[in-house]
Each structure stands twice: as structure tokens, then as C-alpha cells.
């Protein structure tokens, strides 16, 4: 958490959103049997990409997307 406090506000927001997304994925995994088919398909796709060693690239893309959204919404 110290690294979050030292980072610029935009980067802190991006990291917090990323952490929330990852927590939601863990929750989705836990509740997969009760999830709508679309959520199950999305989780399966993410899991498959992770197993193909694409996860670091996806995280970088996600961070970039979140930063762009933050800048567009002027959340600085």
C-alpha cells in the first residue's frame, strides 16, 4: 500500500481500480455456478488467456485503458 501513497493520484486510482477488478474476478470464480452464462464465458476467456502467459500483457492493456478513462473523466 505504501507504493500507492507515493504514486501520483491518477496512477493510484488506476491501481485501485485494477485491484477491484482482480477482486471481482476472484468473486466471479467463487460464484461461477450462480453466474449468468456471459460472466462465465468472460471468466473462462480470461482464465485461458492467463494460462497462455498473456496475463502480463492484458494487465498492461488494462492499466492503459484505466488511465485513459481517468484522463477522459478528469479524475486527477
| pLDDT, block means (10 residues), the chain with 76 residues | 60 70 63 55 62 55 67 58
- Report yes or no on 3 lying in a domain: no
The residue with cell 478513462 is 69
Q: Can you give the residue range of the structural domain that contains 50? A: 8-72
- Report yes or no on 17 lying in a domain: yes
- Report yes or no on 26 lying in a domain: yes
pLDDT value for 62 = 67
- Report yes or no on 42 lying in a domain: yes
Structural domain total, the chain: 1
- Report yes or no on 66 lying in a domain: yes
Who's near 70: CB < 8 A, 6+ residues apart?
Answer: 10, 13, 14, 76
Got the DSSP string for 31-64?
A: TGGGS-HHHHHHHHHHHHHHHTT-HHHHHHHHHH
- Report yes or no on 1 lying in a domain: no
- Report yes or no on 2 lying in a domain: no
- Report yes or no on 32 lying in a domain: yes
Please state the pTM of the whole predicted model: 0.29
Amino acid at each position: 500500500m505504501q507504493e500507492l501513497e507515493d504514486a501520483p493520484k491518477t496512477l493510484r486510482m488506476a491501481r485501485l481500480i485494477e485491484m477491484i477488478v482482480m477482486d471481482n474476478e476472484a468473486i466471479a470464480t467463487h460464484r461461477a455456478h450462480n453466474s449468468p452464462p456471459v460472466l462465465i464465458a468472460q471468466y473462462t476467456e480470461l482464465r485461458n488467456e492467463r494460462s497462455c502467459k498473456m496475463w502480463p500483457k492484458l494487465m498492461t492493456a488494462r492499466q492503459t485503458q484505466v488511465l485513459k478513462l481517468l484522463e477522459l473523466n478528469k479524475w486527477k
